[in-house]
Structure 1
Amino acid sequence: MSSDTEPGTIEEVDLLVCGAGAGGMTAALVAALEGLNVVLCEKTGQVGGTTSTSGGTTWVPGTHLSELAGVPDKVEDARAFLESVVANRGGIRLREAFLDSGRPAIEELDRRTDVKFVAATAHPDYLDGPGSAYGGRALAPVMFDGRLLGRDDFARVRPPRPEFVGLGGMMVGRNELDALLSPLRSIGNFRSAVTIVGRYLLDRLGYRRGTRLLMGNALVARLLHSLRKAKVPILFETGVTELIVADGRVVGAVMEGPSGTRRIRASKGVVLATGGVCWNRTIRERLFPKGTRDYSLGPVSNTGDGADVATAVGAGFDDGGDSPALWMPCSSYRRADGSLAVWPHIILDRAKPGLLAVDASGRRFVNESDSYHDFAMGQIRNNAIPAHLICDSSFIRRYGMGMILPGARNLRAMIKAGYVTEAKTLRELAEKIGCEAPALAATVEAYNHSAATGVDEAFGRGRSVVNRFNGDPAIGPNPCIGPIGNGPYYAMAVRPSDLASSAGLSGDEFGRVLDREGEPIAGLYACGNDLASIFRGTYPGPGTTIGPAIVFGWRVAKHAAGKLKDTPDNSAGAGTDERNYRATL
């Protein structure tokens, strides 16, 4: 049944899913495959949520895809890794469930749907430790041809961030950047550039943007394509406003949509997957550190609806452990039309040699090459909001910085827009950004000494696997450290912005929402960012938000369909005081 033509006919279902991000779409899809009568409701007119604008990397240990890629990953190794990263922060039952179900969840999606991944042979975990992986654990969505959706459904896929597309709507993979930026460097580059741009130009004859979908957009489109094949109704512009409770059980929800207010009954339960805390002002003011509350990378429609309706019926709310959110350092400027252009500094500049970050005093405070979350956590811990990325002109020409492309072709425009600050000397740069000139000079001198020796004694830059992976292998002895030379010099302000929630609804290993006493609320589930992070505010590796979203979406659907049984297993998570369970199908 098409939700676009008959949105008012659905009043009673087996499972009601609220929110069409990766978690909610997976839950709805798997529930339909299990034979449940499902309806998926999305508050906006487009599917995908935060996933659609992300890189789409999905962290799931021990899958068959790692074996197919020739980099087999073992769940036992991932368990040891997570024990070292998360340590005694709690949440072992949920992590055991995630590790237990990751492989069957990905296998089933691969076998029964159009949701396809490939394991990266080289995409390291973000931290070193026992069991950390260099490849196999991070899964990348396979490119998808958006034309397969048809024009109407293609328009339903939330587009990527405008800063991350070329020519007004062309998606480009990380491994394709060199060909597009330097098409005349080789015959291979030229052929690749012509193929990519040619396809895009043909797309624009009939579509508002390119249909060659990559990263998170490819994952979302594949989920939507699979949902349509499974004939799952999707009610767009329909958000949850209240849960219906009878005899202590959630039996449905009040939804607000184009046809007005309506009550949808759900015999198996309601799944909350509305995007997490994100733009919920009350929760942000209560939990988020100062300097991080004004901007989020999530869609503005994600206003914490799941948390609001669940806590209204007695659900517990978890503060997220070490941090209420997972972060990216972002630079920004106002476009001519008044809109805000935002660039998340993920991997393309911070890890490269010849750049450092300073706080308001002009001193370093963090390992600049660490993961985006750990860099931003360094900002928060050291009151370095904003921080400034510092480099010289040779760095800009070679690597670019933020929205300034390699080659610095748009540098003048970015200076004029106030996005980056330029100065002839370090003293002048310090004056312009408001830091202490002697301190900045001393910082650069110490950094250049480290570049000569290859050893960063202050912060250990370049010691970890992920540091070196994202550095420049052509530079030695340390691929993450290079000298800052003569001026002109440049400074770019960065602030932490949340990419996903860590705080969220308290839940158990089946995705059941728990009340304030820790007991499951019958008929109420959560997944995605609505469920508190299973990693307790840490960020182990690439895709450690999407991975649990998909796996717990799968588990929620299986449990609602009666296909997951819990049996005690004291061997799982040995060494903890918590009771652990292994899921059996």
Structure 2
Amino acid sequence: MTAALAAKKRGLNVVVIEKSRYFGGSTARSGGAIWVPNNSVILGAGVPDSAEQAATYLSNVVGPEIPKDRQQAFLEHGPKMIDFIMDNTPLRFQFLENYSDYYPHFPGGLDIGRSIEAIQVDANLLGAEKERLNPPYMPMPPGIVMYSADYKWVNLAGVNVKGLATGIKCMLAGLRAMALRQNPQTMGAGLAVGLRLGLMDAKIPVWHNTPLLDLVQDGDAISGVVVEMHGVRTTIRAKKGVVIGSGGFEQNAEMRNKYQQQPINTKWTVGSKDNTGDGIWASEKVGAALDLMDDSWWGPTVPVPGQPYFCLSERALPGGLFVNKHGKRFVNEAGPYCEVVHVMYEQDKSDDGSEIPTWMIVDQRFRNRYLFKDVPGRFPIPKFWYESGVVKKAKTLHELAKDINVPADALQATVTRFNGQAKKGVDEDFGRGNNMYDRFYTDPAVKPNPCLAPLEQGPFYAFKIAPGDLGTKGGIVTDARARALRSDGTVIKGLWAAGNASAAVMGNSYAGAGSTIGPAMTFGYIAANDLADL
């Protein structure tokens, strides 16, 4: 949508081809954060960022594998893209204050973060098109208007005054919207609605239920697409070229099995169900090189049948830990979610399948205090979670160990050691709570380390943790102008790519909240302007 809007504003004739009956893709299902350093929103909020500081940080995060000119293109054009969106859509953004960069201790990292999110948008402005908004992967409770910035505190509503106040604020905002007969959308849905309104205002058509079948090639240049429209194979010619923004291949079992490490499962992703790699394989067919195909935007995920839960906040809260099948801790549970799964896979290679699945162990005090997914503290966990085997419950750790098939003595020793460290407030094994990212989703009432509390009050619970993801991050290799490249580095004329259909500028890492959406929008913007300059 960003690419289409930018191209239209440059005077081009544009159409958006959408495979799904919905618009918004995985973005509409997500928290909707946008990571774009040094943009006008964060600078206006007083964030002490600069182009030099951002370049230092990004370089340290992604490493030498990502070409410097691609990194620089993102950093240079990202702030321009944010201003362009605010100038050409109803979208306005706010700073996600204190949502730290994921590696704030790296040179150039910021403890207060660089992420922004869309301010509430009224979906009723879309008219009938609002029914085409892709549903969120975890629906918002009715009558609530909540931002990503609120999510942390709402999680603590049962034990924290600010959490309770935030929950009340979200309910009052919902009541106000109802009184005004609005359909308020925030997070990823708000971003998607705002962009779609921009397309409507610019009179850019969006053709739904129109899957890509092939790319049209004239000589060595791409000159259009072949799609299925109303059941008929149809060719659409493009005078200037094609921008691929079709998302990843997380829902394509064949591609995941081909490119990614086992175990892998399409049932563990929260990516949009239509993301089956169509743009990637169509581009590969015309000679595009692919990279990062073995990687994803990973995160520890509770594999609830039919509704996998990307475990964002719970793993950082005090009173829980991860263990492998040997009953031992192996990672900083509160660290960047992508990194946690990387460790799961790395250790799985070197051992005998010990990290997958992993189990998150918590005690009754944890369950009494904190929200887990959409289950409030003290409320019973749904019965079908137990029936599916993703949750186990036992009076003692020894009984729990038997239920999850780990050595009881090892689990007891792990919890005993963890409890001692929690009471001292220092995780000597993995450094949990040593930086501001670790501490973002924690409980400030817990001292001396808000990430750490002992597991002492039975019964005890074990949640199965699988290597889930927000989507895949491998795809078409592109240059700093978002042009698709062949394996020899030459440009495929007429073909550009952005988002999860392209190999991520983040490489194998993850700089901060919104490192998927920020670069996707930026390189869509770059692609459109490069195309228009032809």
TM-score higher than 0.5: yes
1:158 aligned onto 2:131: no
**Counterpart in the other structure of 1:351:** 316
**Counterpart in the other structure of 1:10:** none
Are the counterparts in 2 of residues 166 and 172 from structure 1 also a CA contact under 8 Å? no
**Counterpart in the other structure of 2:27:** 51
Give percent identity, aligned residues only. Answer: 34
**Counterpart in the other structure of 1:310:** 283
- Separation of aligned partners in 1, 2:257 and 2:93: 38
Are the counterparts in 2 of residues 179 and 189 from structure 1 also a CA contact under 8 Å? no
- More deviation, 269-278/184-193: 184-193
Are the counterparts in 2 of residues 180 and 193 from structure 1 also a CA contact under 8 Å? no
**Counterpart in the other structure of 1:31:** 7
**Counterpart in the other structure of 1:472:** 443
1:330 aligned onto 2:301: yes
The match for 1:100 among 76, 79, 84 is 76
Question: Aligned runs of 1:543-562 on 2, under 5 Å?
Answer: 543-562=514-533
Give the secondary-structure state (helix, strand or coil) at the position aligned to 2:239. strand
**Counterpart in the other structure of 1:482:** 453
Are the counterparts in 2 of residues 404 and 414 from structure 1 also a CA contact under 8 Å? no
Instruction: Tell me by how many angstroms 1:418 deviates.
Output: 4.4
TM-score by length of 1: 0.85
**Counterpart in the other structure of 2:379:** 408
- Separation of aligned partners in 2, 1:193 and 1:328: 27
CA distance 1:430–1:191, change in 2 (3 Å): closer
- Separation of aligned partners in 2, 1:425 and 1:466: 32
Instruction: Tell me by how many angstroms 1:75 deviates.
Output: 1.7
**Counterpart in the other structure of 2:307:** 341
**Counterpart in the other structure of 2:126:** 149
Give the secondary-structure state (helix, strand or coil) at the position aligned to 1:350. helix
CA distance 1:102–1:289, change in 2 (3 Å): same
Letter in 2 for 1:434: N
Give the secondary-structure state (helix, strand or coil) at the position aligned to 2:30. coil
Are the counterparts in 2 of residues 501 and 533 from structure 1 also a CA contact under 8 Å? no
What's the RMSD between the two structures over aligned residues? Answer: 2.4
Are the counterparts in 2 of residues 72 and 136 from structure 1 also a CA contact under 8 Å? no
1:374 aligned onto 2:339: yes
The match for 1:274 among 232, 240, 246 is 246
Question: Aligned runs of 1:377-526 on 2, under 5 Å?
Answer: 377-383=342-348, 384-410=355-381, 414-415=385-386, 418-526=389-497
Instruction: Tell me by how many angstroms 1:399 deviates.
Output: 1.2
CA distance 1:194–1:254, change in 2 (3 Å): closer
Instruction: Tell me by how many angstroms 1:501 deviates.
Output: 2.0
The match for 2:200 among 203, 210, 228 is 228
Letter in 2 for 1:263: T
CA distance 1:319–1:194, change in 2 (3 Å): closer
- More deviation, 513-522/406-415: 406-415
Are the counterparts in 1 of residues 177 and 184 from structure 2 also a CA contact under 8 Å? yes
Instruction: Tell me by how many angstroms 1:72 deviates.
Output: 3.6
Are the counterparts in 2 of residues 363 and 443 from structure 1 also a CA contact under 8 Å? yes
Instruction: Tell me by how many angstroms 1:182 deviates.
Output: 5.8
**Residues 78-131 of structure 1: per-residue CA shift (max 9 Å, x gap):** 111122222222332211110111111111211232232222231111112100
CA distance 1:181–1:369, change in 2 (3 Å): closer
**Counterpart in the other structure of 2:352:** none
Are the counterparts in 1 of residues 23 and 133 from structure 2 also a CA contact under 8 Å? yes
CA distance 1:51–1:447, change in 2 (3 Å): same
Divergent runs of 4+, >6 A: 183-187, 200-203
Letter in 2 for 1:277: F
Give the secondary-structure state (helix, strand or coil) at the position aligned to 1:333. coil
Are the counterparts in 2 of residues 73 and 136 from structure 1 also a CA contact under 8 Å? no
Instruction: Tell me by how many angstroms 1:136 deviates.
Output: 5.4
**Residues 164-218 of structure 1: per-residue CA shift (max 9 Å, x gap):** 4225x96643526649966997995685365355468779xx9xxx821110000
CA distance 1:412–1:308, change in 2 (3 Å): closer
**Counterpart in the other structure of 2:85:** 109
Question: Aligned runs of 1:199-218 on 2, under 5 Å?
Answer: 211-218=183-190
Are the counterparts in 1 of residues 157 and 167 from structure 2 also a CA contact under 8 Å? no
Give the secondary-structure state (helix, strand or coil) at the position aligned to 2:126. helix
Instruction: Tell me by how many angstroms 1:503 deviates.
Output: 1.2
Letter in 1 for 2:219: D
Give the secondary-structure state (helix, strand or coil) at the position aligned to 2:56. helix
Letter in 2 for 1:360: K
CA distance 1:102–1:422, change in 2 (3 Å): same
Letter in 1 for 2:64: N
Letter in 2 for 1:379: M
Are the counterparts in 1 of residues 159 and 369 from structure 2 also a CA contact under 8 Å? no
Instruction: Tell me by how many angstroms 1:325 deviates.
Output: 1.0
1:137 aligned onto 2:114: yes
Residue segments in structure 2 that go unaligned for 5+ positions in a row: 349-354
Are the counterparts in 2 of residues 316 and 506 from structure 1 also a CA contact under 8 Å? yes
1:76 aligned onto 2:52: yes
Instruction: Tell me by how many angstroms 1:319 deviates.
Output: 2.7
Residue segments in structure 1 that go unaligned for 5+ positions in a row: 1-24, 335-339, 564-585
- Separation of aligned partners in 1, 2:167 and 2:482: 49
TM-score by length of 2: 0.92
**Residues 330-364 of structure 1: per-residue CA shift (max 9 Å, x gap):** 11334xxxxx12211012x1111110000111100
CA distance 1:496–1:179, change in 2 (3 Å): closer
- Separation of aligned partners in 2, 1:190 and 1:447: 32
- Separation of aligned partners in 1, 2:76 and 2:420: 48
- Separation of aligned partners in 2, 1:529 and 1:95: 16
Give the secondary-structure state (helix, strand or coil) at the position aligned to 1:27. helix
Letter in 1 for 2:413: A
Give the secondary-structure state (helix, strand or coil) at the position aligned to 1:267. coil
- Separation of aligned partners in 2, 1:405 and 1:443: 27
**Counterpart in the other structure of 1:582:** none
